[in-house]
């Protein structure tokens, strides 16, 4: 990975001179290969220069504070994937750590199955009549692969005991990004992250990502935007 020219985090998949129009997921600077120097206004970044963007990042945690509002959570990689999940919560396939603090989560999108004879076994006639009108929700062949290169903390709750807080500001149905949450308020109490007087944060601007599955509620706080890929194959396993 290569360093972003604005925030200096290693977020570029190729050298800066080759990362045409790549947007850093941490500071949101769009890599501009066409400016002659760091003081030249960048057309790709609403006319601000790279030097101004660096100062903005230090002060506000983002290259251009005009972009920073509660609606900024719509820019997450979660947003388009959440829309394809449809009306049913996905299933958790696996959750594990790879290497040094890399979090890897695999979900299976839910599909509506068909009733089978064994579902009616042992049921009284009135109950069987009711059950016959419904269809089971099952794991499908579409998997969602979510990888956090690093994280500050994560937690997994039994979905049966996870009570949603309607006052928290979030965007997304099953894959959510929070603008405000009690977990974010609690973060500096249980970790050594810091929110400085100038508005900057250590180790970087963090976000609260929520993942609701059929049996678990997963919360991840990370200063890295997750990499999300969708796979579809016969086995249902991620490619």
User: Cα–Cα distances in Å, from 194 out to 67, 162, 176, 199?
Assistant: 22, 27, 24, 10
The whole-number pLDDT of residue 233 equals 63
CB neighbourhood size of 230 (10 A): 15
- Summarize the confidence of residues 190-206 as an average pLDDT: 87
Biggest alpha carbon–alpha carbon distance for the chain: 78
Give phi and psi for 29, each to the nearest 5. Answer: -70, 130
- Summarize the confidence of residues 203-224 as an average pLDDT: 93
Angle, alpha carbons 55-44-7 (nearest 5°): 30
The whole-number pLDDT of residue 236 equals 41
Give the pLDDT band (50/70/90) at residue 21.
confident
Residue 84 pLDDT more than 50? yes
Residue 94 pLDDT more than 90? yes
- The ranges assigned to domains in the chain are 2-68, 78-232
Q: Give the E-state strand segments of 42-186 in sequence order.
A: 91-98, 102-112, 137-148, 153-158, 170-171, 175-178
Each residue of 129-146: pLDDT tens digit?
887 888 888 999 999 999
Yes or no: say if 16 and 31 are a contact pair by the CB < 8 Å rule.
Answer: yes
Give the pLDDT band (50/70/90) at residue 97.
very high
Q: Can you state the percent helix, strand and coil of the chain, rounding each to 5?
A: 20, 30, 45
Residue 70 pLDDT more than 50? no
Q: For residue 129, what is the enclosing H or E element?
A: helix 125-131
| Strands across the sheet containing 137-148 | 91-98, 102-112, 137-148, 227-232
The whole-number pLDDT of residue 110 equals 94
Q: Whole-prediction pTM value?
A: 0.64
Most trustworthy range by pLDDT among 117-121, 128-132, 174-178, 213-217: 213-217
CA atoms within 13 A on the CB side of 69: 3
Whole-number percent of the chain with pLDDT over 90:
38
The structure tokens listed for 210 are 């929520």
């Amino acid at each position: 990975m290569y360093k972003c020219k604005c925030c200096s985090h290693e977020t570029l998949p190729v050298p800066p001179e080759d990362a045409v129009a790549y947007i850093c997921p941490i500071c949101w600077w769009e890599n501009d290969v066409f400016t002659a120097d760091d003081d030249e206004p960048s057309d790709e970044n609403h006319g601000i220069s790279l030097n101004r963007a660096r100062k903005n990042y230090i002060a506000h945690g983002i290259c251009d504070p005009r972009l920073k509002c509660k609606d900024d959570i719509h820019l997450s990689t979660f947003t388009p994937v959440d829309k394809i999940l449809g009306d049913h919560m996905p299933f958790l396939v696996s959750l594990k750590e790879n290497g040094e603090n890399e979090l890897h989560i695999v979900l299976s999108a839910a599909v509506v199955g068909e009733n089978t004879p064994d579902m009616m076994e042992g049921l009284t006639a009135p109950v069987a009549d009711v059950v016959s009108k419904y269809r089971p929700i099952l794991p499908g062949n579409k998997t969602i692969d979510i990888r956090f290169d690093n994280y500050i903390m994560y937690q997994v709750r039994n979905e049966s005991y996870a009570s949603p807080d309607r006052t928290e500001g979030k965007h997304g149905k099953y894959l959510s990004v929070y603008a405000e949450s009690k977990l974010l308020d609690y973060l500096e109490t249980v970790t050594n992250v810091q929110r400085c007087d100038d508005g900057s944060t250590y180790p970087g601007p963090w976000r609260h990502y929520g993942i609701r599955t059929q049996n678990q509620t997963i919360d991840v706080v990370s200063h890295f935007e997750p990499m999300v890929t969708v796979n579809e194959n016969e086995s249902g396993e991620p490619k």
